Every structure is written in structure tokens, then in C-alpha cells.
């Protein structure tokens, strides 16, 4: 027997050694390199910053990326036809919004800001001092095509608002497809003036900017959007997060004259912490799992009674987000979070064994002698606080409490004990009863104040405000709405 054990042990050790020899720790890091490369459509004017940032992403992650450069409008036109690719980086949010309205984009992450400026050759040989000087007969003016390039669209709309676009359109000697074409014309001396991005002037030492207040309020937002056609969303979103990270893509943006916006720090697989009241679990769990898979991130859920969760927050814990069972508990920690969104609501109900054998019809009936009642704990949960508030308001609290044999921090524990046969009635949320089906009877409580409203908020000190914003968007989506409504909630988010 002992010899047989020795043989089996040797086999096991051998198998382990083979597995260790076969394991290559760098293979996980470069696993993405074995898949198809990410395809990125990028505005040509952003190339100086995007190109080195993407190559740094490849070096750090092992991913492969192909980039097609062009005018934002031209790229968008191509996307409408091909509907192939992973990311779209536009120099103006206008094109991002068009892509959204055409159902081409899913997530959008801001990267930087750009402002139009008058550009001339170094030394300003034509002595151009203002926008009006561009209309002089001796100035060879070139502009960007408004339908092809973001800078062209922003300039046209700004001048249309001033009622002067027709004059500049007539004076322009040529309309170029990209901002880089304008800069090269000035550099080569084939044009005297153009209107380009402020970052473009910083990238070309042969150019000077001419200050003019006309475009001071015409700042454009550079953003990257994940295409609906993307087949590798986790990889694409990782690249988008990399481009937005201050110490990664943001650094390259700043080095090339762009004004980067504040993005999340770069972490390959970020981990979020979400505090949530127990009643919300049935409605959000599937959405959270889908978000984790799509984004390539992790979410640590902490489900509990809201009294316990808010006590932890007041004691110093800093979750990235808090999804309360009722607005009354969100208010107690409101200083720790940004403004909350009220996602849903659910009614309080009385749940009994099937057929309601005690014939209970109202909250007052729970005071009948001889009943065994379960309530949520007033200090530990929003449901307990709401139940006590209702009973106290109507003068039934003392009589009902005389029948209470169990108090729990969450309602699902009450439902479980009711189904186990130890109780005659419990007060829970309607959303807690949906999964039980015909295993319990449900009696609505028709009193003012018997509805709980579930607010969701992002922590003020989260390291990942952009990631949390996308999680908020996902939880506010139509798909999430369907999950709430099928689990006993009513939706409160206004339609867009």
C-alpha cells in the first residue's frame, strides 16, 4: 500500500514539475498579442501624441495596435460605411456625438482640450495682427474642410455665429482635409495664414500663433470612443484608459502641446469597491458582472444593511460608490459622495406563508396576539428604519414589537426564515419577494412613506472617477432598467 502511495505521489510531483516548466509568466502579459490587432481611427492632428502613447501601450501590455489617421469627419464617414474597428479618436466632440447618434459608439472617454488659433509662418512676415487681417488681398488664406476636419467644423460654426463665415469662405484659397495639411502649407510657404489648433502651433517650430479672442470660447474636446463594432472591448477599453491616464497618454498629450483633461490613473485591471444595500443585489448583480467582463476590471461588492454600511463609511471607509436602499441613508453620508442619481423604488409589503393563513391585511394586523413577526433591524438597515418609522407614526410600534421574534440587518434573511416556516409574517420590500414566487403571499402596505427610493452615488475620493461614471451610465442603461423592473422595482431614471 505504501509503495503504491509513493508511486502516485511521484506521478503527482512529476505532473506539477511539467506544469511549472510549461508555464511562462510573460505569456499572460502578451496573451493579447496572439489575438487580432486593435484597429484605431484617429484624427490626423493628434498623431504626434497618440502615436508614441499607443506604442508605449503595446510595449507595456503586449497588445498590437493599427492606427488609421485622417480628418475626424472623413474617418467618421468611413466608419458609417464599414462599421469595422475598435476605437475612434476625434479632435472634436461634435463628431463623437454624431457617431453616438448613428449608434457607432458605446463608451466615450475624454482626453484633452484644443482651442483654434490663427497661425502664420515664424516671424509673421505678413504682419497679421487680427482675424480681420486674414481677409486682406495680400494674404493667402487656407482653411480646413468643415466636413472633413474637426478644426474646419469648429471654425465654420464660430464664424457662422458671428455672421462672417461667408467672407472667410470666399477669401480662402483652398480647403484642406486635415489640420496637418494647413500647418505644412504654412511651413512650406504656400500659404500665409490658417486657423489651426493651438497644439498644432506648438508642434511646428516654423509657426507662430497670432492672439485673437474670437476663438477663446470655442474650445474643442478630444475624446476616444469604443466602437459598437469592437470585438475586443476589454482590450479596447484598456487602451482608452491608457490614453486618458495622466502618467501615460496624458504625458504624451502635454509634451505635444495639448491640454490633457484629468483621467483615471493607469492600472491594467482596476478594482472598484461598491457598497450596496442588500435589496439591490438581485437587480444589479448581472449588470455588474457584464461590466466587469466588458471593461476588464473587478468590482468588490459589499452587500449589507444600510445602517451597517453607513456606519462603516462614517468610520472612515471610502468606497468608490454607494447604492443605498433608501435616500434617507444616503443623506447621512452625503458629504462623502457626489450628487446621487435615484435609480429605482420599491414598495414595502407584508409577506406571509402561502395562502396568508392568518388573514393579515394591514400593518396594524401584525399587532394581533400570538403572531410571530420578523422585522429588519432599525439601526442596521433602511428597511428597519422605514418600518419603525411607519409603525411609530401610526402608534402601532409597541404592540407589533411585542410579536417580533427576529430582527435582521437585511430583508433577504427575513424571507428565508419565513420560507423555513418559523414566522407568520415579515415586513420586507416587494423586490425581496419576487424570486420566491408562489412560495409566499404578498400583501401591499398602502400607507404614505411605505416606498423606499434607491439612490446611487460616486465617492468624492475615488481613484477612478471616469470608470465610476461609466459604471453609473451602465447601471442607468435600458438593459439595467429591464433587470430592475423584472425583479420588482419601479424605474425612476428619466428617459434621455
Per-residue pLDDT of 230-239, as tens digits, reads 999 999 999 9
Q: How far apart are CA 473 and CA 107, in angstroms?
A: 9
Picking from 78, 95, 91, the residue whose alpha carbon sits closest to that of residue 39 is: 78
Q: Which residues pair with 225 in a beta bridge?
A: 88, 108
- Taking the CA atoms of residue 403, residue 405, residue 411 and residue 413 in that order, the dihedral angle to the nearest 10 degrees is -150
Strands 87-90 and 38-43, by their bridges, are parallel
Q: How far apart are CA 235 and CA 228, in angstroms?
A: 14
pTM, entire model: 0.84
Q: How far apart are CA 141 and CA 171, in angstroms?
A: 7
Picking from 399, 384, 397, the residue whose alpha carbon sits closest to that of residue 304 is: 384
C-alpha pair distances (Å), 175 with each of 107, 157, 170, 187, 355: 32, 15, 11, 16, 78
Handedness of CA 346, 347, 353, 355 (dihedral sign): negative
All 3 cell numbers of residue 373? Answer: 413577526
Question: Which of helix, strand or coil describes residue 243?
Answer: helix
Query: Percent helix, strand, coil in the chain (nearest 5)?
Result: 45, 25, 30
Strands laid side by side in the 259-260 sheet: 65-70, 38-43, 87-90, 220-227, 105-114, 259-260
Q: Which residues pair with 404 in a beta bridge?
A: 373
442 and 433 Cβ atoms separated by less than 8 Å:
yes
Return the biggest CA–CA distance within the chain. Answer: 104
Q: How far apart are CA 465 and CA 337, in angstroms?
A: 11
Q: How far apart are CA 74 and CA 88, in angstroms?
A: 12
55 and 84 Cβ atoms separated by less than 8 Å:
no
Name the stretches of the chain with pLDDT < 70: 1-34, 496
Q: How far apart are CA 423 and CA 474, in angstroms?
A: 38
The DSSP call for residue 305 is: -
Amino acid at each position: 500500500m505504501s509503495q503504491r502511495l509513493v508511486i502516485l505521489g511521484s506521478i503527482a510531483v512529476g505532473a506539477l514539475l511539467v506544469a511549472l516548466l510549461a508555464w511562462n509568466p510573460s505569456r499572460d502579459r502578451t496573451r493579447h498579442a496572439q489575438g487580432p490587432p486593435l484597429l484605431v481611427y484617429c484624427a490626423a492632428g493628434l498623431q504626434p501624441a497618440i502615436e508614441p502613447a499607443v506604442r508605449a501601450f503595446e510595449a507595456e501590455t503586449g497588445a498590437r495596435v493599427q492606427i488609421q489617421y485622417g480628418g475626424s469627419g472623413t474617418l467618421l464617414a468611413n466608419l458609417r460605411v464599414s462599421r469595422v474597428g475598435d476605437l475612434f479618436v476625434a479632435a472634436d466632440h461634435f463628431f463623437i456625438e454624431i457617431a453616438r447618434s448613428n449608434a457607432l459608439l458605446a463608451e466615450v472617454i475624454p482626453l484633452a482640450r484644443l482651442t483654434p488659433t490663427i497661425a502664420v509662418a515664424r516671424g509673421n512676415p505678413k504682419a497679421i495682427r487680427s482675424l480681420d487681417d486674414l481677409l486682406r488681398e495680400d494674404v493667402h488664406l487656407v482653411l480646413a474642410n468643415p466636413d472633413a476636419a474637426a478644426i474646419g467644423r469648429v471654425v465654420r460654426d464660430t464664424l457662422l455665429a458671428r455672421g462672417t463665415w461667408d467672407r472667410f469662405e470666399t477669401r480662402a484659397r483652398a480647403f484642406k482635409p486635415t489640420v496637418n495639411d494647413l500647418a505644412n502649407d504654412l511651413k512650406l510657404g504656400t500659404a500665409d495664414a490658417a486657423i489651426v489648433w493651438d497644439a498644432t502651433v506648438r508642434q511646428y517650430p516654423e509657426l507662430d500663433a497670432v492672439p485673437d479672442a474670437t476663438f477663446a470660447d470655442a474650445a474643442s474636446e478630444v475624446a476616444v470612443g469604443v466602437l459598437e463594432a469592437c470585438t475586443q472591448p476589454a482590450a479596447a477599453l484598456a487602451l482608452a484608459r491608457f490614453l486618458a491616464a495622466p502618467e501615460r497618454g496624458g504625458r504624451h498629450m502635454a509634451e505635444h502641446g495639448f491640454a490633457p483633461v484629468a483621467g483615471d490613473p493607469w492600472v491594467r485591471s482596476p478594482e472598484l469597491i461598491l457598497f450596496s444595500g442588500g435589496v439591490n443585489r438581485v437587480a444589479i448583480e448581472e449588470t455588474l458582472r457584464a461590466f466587469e467582463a466588458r471593461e476588464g476590471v473587478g468590482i468588490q461588492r459589499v452587500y449589507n444593511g444600510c445602517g451597517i454600511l453607513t456606519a462603516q463609511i462614517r468610520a472612515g471607509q471610502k468606497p468608490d460608490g454607494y447604492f443605498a436602499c433608501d435616500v434617507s441613508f444616503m443623506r447621512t453620508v452625503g458629504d462623502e459622495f457626489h450628487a446621487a442619481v435615484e435609480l429605482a423604488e420599491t414598495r414595502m409589503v407584508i409577506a406571509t406563508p402561502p395562502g396568508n393563513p392568518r388573514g393579515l391585511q394591514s400593518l396594524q394586523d401584525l399587532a394581533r396576539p400570538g403572531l410571530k413577526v420578523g422585522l429588519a433591524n432599525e439601526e442596521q438597515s433602511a428597511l428597519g428604519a422605514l418600518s419603525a418609522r411607519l409603525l411609530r407614526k401610526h402608534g402601532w410600534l409597541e404592540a407589533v414589537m411585542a410579536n417580533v421574534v427576529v430582527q435582521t440587518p437585511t430583508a433577504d434573511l427575513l424571507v428565508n426564515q419565513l420560507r423555513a416556516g418559523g414566522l407568520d409574517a415579515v415586513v420586507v420590500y416587494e423586490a425581496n419577494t419576487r424570486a420566491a414566487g408562489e412560495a409566499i403571499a404578498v400583501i401591499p402596505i398602502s400607507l404614505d412613506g411605505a416606498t423606499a427610493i434607491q439612490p446611487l452615488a460616486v465617492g468624492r475620493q475615488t481613484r477612478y472617477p471616469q470608470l465610476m461614471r461609466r459604471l453609473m451610465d451602465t447601471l442607468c442603461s435600458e438593459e439595467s432598467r429591464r433587470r430592475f423592473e423584472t425583479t420588482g422595482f419601479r424605474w425612476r431614471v428619466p428617459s434621455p
